[in-house]
Amino acid sequence: MPPRSAKKPAADDVSLAGTRAEHEALGREIAEHDRRYYEEDAPTVSDAEYDELRRRYEMLEERFPELKSADSLTERVGAKGSEKFAKVRHRVPMLSLANGFGEEDVREFVERIRRFLNLKSDAPLVFTAEPKIDGLSLSLTYDKGRLVTAATRGDGAEGEDVTANARTVSDIPKQLRGKDVPELAEIRGEVYLSHVDFAEINARQAAAGEKIFANPRNAAAGSLRQLDVSITAARPLRFLAYTWGEMSVLPAKTQFEMVKAFERWGFRTSPLTRRVVGLDEMLAYHRELERERANLGYDIDGVVYKVDELALQQRLGFVSRSPRWALAHKFPAQKATTVLEDILIYVGRTGSLNPAAKLKPVTVGGVVVQNATLHNEDYIKGVGGNGEPIRGGVDIRIGDTVVVERAGDVIPKVLEVVVEKRPPDAEPYVFPTICPACGSHAVREVNPRSGKEDSVRRCTGGLVCPAQARERLKHFVSRHAFDIEGLGAQRIDEFYDEGLIRAPQDIFTLERRNGLLRLEAREGWGDTSVRNLFAAINARRSIALPRFIHALGISHIGETNARLLARHFGTFDGLRGTARAAVDSNSEAYAELTSIGGVGEVVADALVEFFKEAHNQEMLDALLKEVTPEPAEQAASDSPVAGKTVVFTGALEQMTRDEAKAMAERLGAKVAGSVSKKTDLVVAGPGAGSKLDRAREAGVEVVDEDGWFALVGRGA
């Protein structure tokens, strides 16, 4: 399928039924690439390839919001830090940036900002534009001008303490200078290596018989994260400052002037940073840097645009993993031609049969590619989700010469087939109708909502399918779920094969059963490793409610929806009770589920189905004897609407609906889509209809926009 830079996928490209398997497969591969990139500093794909995979992943979620909560990686940042270093909790999360891959993406970014802020098309909108340095993100905290902590991004919430190493980097000032240095200042930027320094490091590595780094980014990350500080000191790392985290006083009112303040304080900043006004200047800047990137002497992989005025940044706020006011405009993807040697089928935790291409290794933009996604059964056949031809209707066969693309996401993909090079004996690929993991029938069901056949073929084995059981267990212990150190995918496979762990609750009874199991006597184990495993398991007997909900693997309930549900219900018993009472779609309980901001009928139906299944109830009863989900944290008590449920209705005149919702959530309120007995406040603008009537009937407090601002403060 040709890449679609900038636009949402067309309806004839994808369907919900036909893309769920692709979405899951992309998610698995992206997560693995994240682990290699952030934890091991050893990526196996290029940035362009990674970006193309994530781009495709995000396009699917944009076209089908129902996919967004299904283990969505769009809500994640980075990966957890290495166990080699002490941990640092970021008081202001280190978020990643949304990506754009073509001019249309940038146009949509600007238009979204105008819609959110209700700006007219001719109102000037100024951005700060800067090169996107390809290095390692670093946070530097200064107390009264003195460097006290340096931390990597990690997973965005918690990073690694690399203070001693950072002190050896000459570009990082130990003491800030200037009259306007805040008492507390957290400066963020990028650690990187120049091309010349990278070549010299690799020459020394080769002469010493040591590991050769694949690229400057890997070398910079590996150099900063050395346990031996002298190794870091011996490598010519550089640092560019471009943003900030916690700051006791802001020295400027615009992004551009903030960067100028960093210069005054002693930091190096990019001399290529400039202000641009409007779309044309943004795109001209991108084209200029793309032309000059080879002459810069260091790696960049795109351009970053940021709304210049800080007051507008505050109004725009954030989505779960990135700011609304910034965009990374990546450089184009790269392609290569190779031979497809085999088609492999992997079974996901929902039973989906996910095809992948095994390729003759080929270098694409400096990275060796050996595997690529084939999305789903229809994609192999050369048809889209609605049966219309794609790639000219050419199918994909083993032995074909194919064009592989790696661009701005995570997984390489087979883009097209070079038909004239097809071997004469190449046969059409016959997609399996039997699950390769358990031998059960694999079927394509008819979607009851659309009446169309699902493009995803699924194993009907359910709980008897070992592949599904394994994948569910791997999800349960994964980083954004229970995150049990030492109990990764390989260990789950081992324990599952031996019958030691077949369900989540078995994890927490493992220590009690060890008198019979004698793990420490097994090959590769010892007293210390067994003790560490049990300690890691016991550390998760009390767990944050959003993690617990996410770990259950309920369809459509990824991290974002898990947080929404945790915040709304406060306790797992509250969620479970409401979901069980919502079997009747006309009930008050079902109405409550669908009134939660961000939760619609698809998610509500998934919750109902999960909690009414007897096997799931038995599993939960057993699991809750071992584990305690902690009540959700309450919002800050100093906000007058913290913890309250707010409904906006009617035409808002002083702010857009999106801005109103973002403001309420920033203040700790819950935003619902409909009025119920749990509604605390209705904000009604002109033209408010049935919601206002219901609020008055129920005795719910009603205010207009002026009343809302009087309640929360105009600058909230």
Name the residues annotated as catalytic.
Answer: 132
**Residue entry with tokens 């004839």:** 12
Measured over the CA atoms of residue 441, residue 444, residue 449 and residue 451, the dihedral's sign is: negative
Q: Reduced to 3 states, what is the DSSP secondary structure of residue 119?
A: coil
Element (H, E) at 637: none
- Beta-carbon contacts of 713 under 8 Å, excluding residues fewer than 6 positions away, are none
Length, in residues, of the chain: 716
Q: Other CB atoms closer than 10 Å to residue 200's CB: what's the count? A: 14
What angle (nearest 5°) sits at the alpha carbon of residue 73, between those of residues 320 and 90?
50
In angstroms, the CA 544 to CA 536 distance is 15
Secondary structure of the chain: what % helix, strand, coil (to 5)? 40, 20, 40
Q: Other CB atoms closer than 10 Å to residue 654's CB: what's the count? A: 13
Residue 112 in tokens: 């979204």
In angstroms, the CA 267 to CA 511 distance is 52
In angstroms, the CA 682 to CA 698 distance is 11
**Residue entry with tokens 């994890």:** 507
- Among 136, 15, 60, residue whose Cα is nearest residue 451: 15
In angstroms, the CA 599 to CA 618 distance is 26
Residue pair 135/301 in contact (Cβ under 8 Å)? The answer is no
- Among 10, 31, 710, 682, residue whose Cα is nearest residue 411: 31
Residue 398: exposure state from Cβ atoms within 10 A (0-12, 13-18, ≥19):
middle
Residue 68 in tokens: 């967004």
- Beta-carbon contacts of 331 under 8 Å, excluding residues fewer than 6 positions away, are 48, 290, 293, 301, 302
Measured over the CA atoms of residue 473, residue 479, residue 481 and residue 486, the dihedral's sign is: positive
In angstroms, the CA 98 to CA 652 distance is 28
Question: Which alpha helices (DSSP H) does 368-477 contain, by range?
Answer: 377-381, 466-476
Output the DSSP codes for 324-338.
TTEEEEEPPPEEEEE
Q: Reduced to 3 states, what is the DSSP secondary structure of residue 459?
A: strand
In angstroms, the CA 154 to CA 162 distance is 11
